[in-house]
Amino acid sequence: MRAHRWLLALGLTLAIGAGARDGLDAWVAAAPMPPLLTTTGAEVLDRHGRPLRIYTVADGRWRLAPGQVDPAFTSMLIAFEDQRFRSHAGIDPLAMLRAGAQAVRHGGIVSGASTLTMQVARLLEEGSTGQWAGKLRQIRLALALERRLSKDEILQIYLARAPYGGNIEGIRAATLAWFAKEPRRLTPAEAALLVALPQSPETRRPDRHTDAARAARDRVLDRMARQGVLSFEAAEAAKLDRVPVARRPFPALAPHLADRAVAEDASALRHDLTIDAALQAQLEALAARAVRGLPDAVSVAIVLADHRSGEILASVGSAGIGSGARQGYVDMTAAHRSPGSTLKPVIYAMAFDRGLAHPQTLIDDAPARFGAYAPQNFDGYFRGEVTAADALRQSLNIPPVRLLDAMGPAHLMDVMRRAGLQPKLPGDHAGLAVALGGVGVSLTDMVQLYAALARGGEAMPLRWRQGEDGAPQRILGRAAAWQVGDILAGLAPPANAPARALAYKTGTSYGHRDAWALGWDGAHVAGVWIGRPDGTPVPGAFGGDLAAPILFEAFQRLKPGFDPLPPPPPDTLTVGTAELPQPLRRFAGRGAAFDVARGAPELIFPPDGARMAAQGGLPVKVRGGTPPYTWMANGAPILTGVRAAQASLTGLGQGFSSISVIDATGRSARVTVRLD
């Protein structure tokens, strides 16, 4: 009978145990499971994998994928928080017994019994641990997590979600915020602080409670020494390290390009760009410095690329994203603006490529009218016959318009589009005004166009995302592109800049709205734009004065020296004007424009019958005719051999004077003025 009773008791015990086990299994299996996917902020990384910009998650918290974490930190975390993490099933009965015994002995809670899995359960539920109901719920969820996830997966959730003070969550956000570094390699002091912070993230925040943070860190170091994770010597040495007293700002480089990357692919959490973070930071600082002393509304944009690969290495959209008056939020690398004179090199290259002209071809810089269009030089003067090379170096306006008139503006637009540009015309059709900036282009487009010149006439789309590629397309001949580069390399550089280091061109749009400088060396190409984002004029702004020094300095920030420009291609004709074939010695152009230009001179100032003050010289101005001019007053020559269209006549007395101008062919014009 006694044996039967024992057998019955054993059976009942086993049945109850089995029932309890089944009940526990059912209870755990039925546990409500919160979403296990951890939402992390998007990251925009540079060409070396360094962060350019990091975005918060929807509720404004900094939370990032953990990435590669120092194994020493993980070992320290497990040793401090949950020594049997790798072996228990979600709860640690031994830790619970220890915590309970300590609570009875000391009359209150001395140490907790939460495992890392239970802490993950709390983080997933975003619940508290103070109430028994909450604790029981976390135990249930911890047991369920252990059945569904591996230990490493549970640990990854902790590393992504653990709180580190304020709106910082996860180990990677913490190391960036407190140490400005990735969590791949941490010192013992850094690791100990990061182990201690999640236990009480607000009362131990280093920037607000430095002493409490240091004390908590040192307690972790002491325990690590007792458990043999660290030597006592290493722990004591780590205590000498300073605790950070301020949060480091998260990376926020290339804000315009980063925003564009995220907007184009909002679902991606990682965006790998071709930008170099170190160079980007330097050029953003250069842009901010460049606007000092300029009107408040003026901004600056810079694009720098490797023209060999087509990779954009830096893109600065404004003088500062937070600059209110300067409208720093506007990305001026992408805005369409008038390029001023910066299209002239392409026009000359097209003319050289088509056999219409050569750098040493003589071309007339004299007043001309093309239908209703009568362009003037920037300074109002004309130089007469000049070589094409000199006309480009001096940025004269009439010669490139003559060349474009002979080729047709549509051909320039075609070259621009084949180079990958997206120009915007004010009307339906391109007119000759595009030669002097009568078209809208972006800074990035212009850098891409100049990259084609730098590559010997071969256009390649510039790219700012890694992994993208584009096939090169020839838009100009090698010799023509080299000739233009050789001409531009002969321009005088800004003060203290080396000569012939860059082939570059400056430009100023109509009304001083935009100042440009674009150039290249043997490896890189860059462009600078300065102006007001709203398009209003900036009086006195010239590309040569403002933008060119920034262009040269951008190259100097990139590398210690300039890469040499290439030698001439084998098919390049390098001779003087007299040695050119007869058709290339002088540019004939189209007759309609020259008929006006070669007409009789017209004295357009002063007007006939004008009454003017006699003090100082009398300003005079002629249009048309053939220079050089001879200026006469009352039948006597005052100035001879004058090629410019403007002059000043001195030595005239009071009273009426007859002013005459005679051109090189003997044609003349005359007015009568009264000087008081």
Give how far Cα 603 sits from Cα of 583, 623, 624, Å.
33, 6, 9
Q: Which residue type sits at 536? A: T
| Crossing angle of helices 116-125 and 71-81, rounded to 10° | 100
Residue 415 CB-density burial (10 A; 0-12 exposed, 13-18 middle, 19+ buried): buried
Pick the catalytic residue from 299, 318, 338, 341: 341
Q: Which amino acid is it at 365?
A: D
Residue 516, token pair as written in the block: 């440009």
Q: CB neighbours of 357 closer than 8 A, spacing ≥ 6?
A: 348, 351, 363, 388, 403, 584, 587
Where are any strands of DSSP class E within 510-581? 514-520, 524-531
Check residue 632 and give left, alpha or beta (phi > 0: left; psi -120 to 50: alpha). Answer: beta
- By the 10 Å C-beta count (0-12 exposed, 13-18 middle, 19+ buried), 107 is classed as exposed
Type of residue at 395: S
Give the number of other CB atoms < 10 A from CB of residue 542: 18
Peptide bond into 606 cis (omega under 30): yes
In whole angstroms, give the CA distance from residue 534 to residue 595: 41
Of 43, 81, 146, 458, catalytic? 81
Closest listed residue to residue 138, CA positions, set 154, 151, 120:
120
Q: Which residue has the tokens 């609570």?
A: 103
| Active-site residue, 75 included | no
Cα dist from 174 to 120, 190, 205, 212, 618, whole Å: 17, 10, 11, 17, 75
Which DSSP category does 37 fall into? P
Positive or negative CA dihedral for 347, 351, 353, 358? negative
Tokens of 85: 């993490």
SS3 443: helix
> Residue 23 half-sphere exposure, CB side, CA atoms within 13 Å?
6
What is the rounded CA–CA span in Å between residue 363 and residue 588? Answer: 8
The residue type at 344: K
Task: Give the integer Cα–Cα distance in Å for 447 and 451.
Answer: 6
What whole-number distance in Å separates Cα of residue 42 and Cα of residue 324?
A: 26
Angle between helix axes 188-196 and 210-226 (nearest 10 degrees) is 110
Instruction: Answer yes or no: 81 catalytic.
Output: yes
Q: Hey, which residues are catalytic here?
A: 81, 341
